[in-house]
Amino acid sequence: MYWSCADRATNLRWLAGAGFEVLWTRFIPEEDSGFTLLLARRAAGECDCPPQSTAGKER
């Protein structure tokens, strides 16, 4: 399997540019390389998305 992804700094820059706040990052080693796992959330008041309706959705 081949993974293609940006580096840590690029991912953090993209998330910040999209209005996300990065809460934490961890490097996950995998064989001779690895990847960055992160947790981010949309900063309060930053969402420009239309409200989603839950009407008619089963829970």
pLDDT in tens, 3-12: 677 889 999 9
CA distance linking residue 51 with residue 59, whole number of Å: 18
In this prediction, residue 35 carries a pLDDT of: 87
The pTM for the full model equals 0.62
In this prediction, residue 23 carries a pLDDT of: 94
N- to C-terminal Cα separation, the chain: 35
What digits encode the pLDDT tens for the residues 20-55?
999 999 999 988 888 899 999 987 766 666 666 666
In the chain, domain spans: 8-42
